[in-house]
A = this chain, B = another copy of it.
Amino acid sequence: MKIAIYGYGNLGKGVECAVKYHTDCELVCVFTRRPPETVKAVSGVPVYHTDKIDEFIGKIDVLILCGGSATDLPEMTPALAEKFNVIDSFDTHARIPEHFASVDAAARKNGHAALISAGWDPGLFSISRVYSSAVLPNGADYTFWGRGVSQGHSDAIRRIDGVLDARQYTVPVPEAIEAVRAGECPILTTREKHKRECYVVAEDGADKERIEREIKTMPNYFADYDTTVTFINAEELKQNHKGLPHGGSVIRSGITGFNGENKHTIEYKLTLDSNPEFTASVLVAYARAVCRMAARGQYGCKTVLDVAPSDLSMMSADELRAKML
A residues neighboring B (CB under 8 Å)? 14, 17-18, 20-23, 42-43, 93, 96-97, 100, 117, 122, 124, 126-131, 133-138, 181, 183, 254, 256-258, 261-274, 277-278, 280-282, 285, 288, 303-310, 312-314, 317-318, 320-322, 324-325
A sample of 26 inter-chain contacts (CB < 8 A) reads A43-B258, A93-B325, A97-B318, A97-B322, A100-B321, A117-B325, A122-B325, A124-B131, A124-B135, A126-B324, A127-B131, A134-B288, A134-B312, A135-B285, A137-B281, A137-B314, A256-B280, A261-B273, A262-B274, A262-B278, A264-B271, A267-B268, A303-B321, A303-B325, A304-B309, A305-B321
- A272-B264 in contact given A22-B137, A96-B325, A126-B325 (Cβ < 8 Å): yes
- A135-B97 in contact given A130-B310, A270-B266 (Cβ < 8 Å): no
In contact, B265 and A277 (Cβ under 8 angstroms): no
Q: Which residues of B contact A267 (CB under 8 A)?
A: 267-271
In contact, A256 and B274 (Cβ under 8 angstroms): yes
Q: Which residues of B contact A269 (CB under 8 A)?
A: 265-269
In contact, A305 and B324 (Cβ under 8 angstroms): yes
With A130-B324, A266-B268, A267-B270 known, 7 other A-B pairs at CB within 8 A are: A17-B256, A17-B258, A43-B258, A130-B320, A262-B273, A264-B271, A267-B267
The 10 tightest CB contacts between A and B, nearest first, are A134-B312, A262-B273, A262-B274, A256-B277, A305-B310, A130-B309, A265-B271, A21-B138, A134-B285, A267-B269
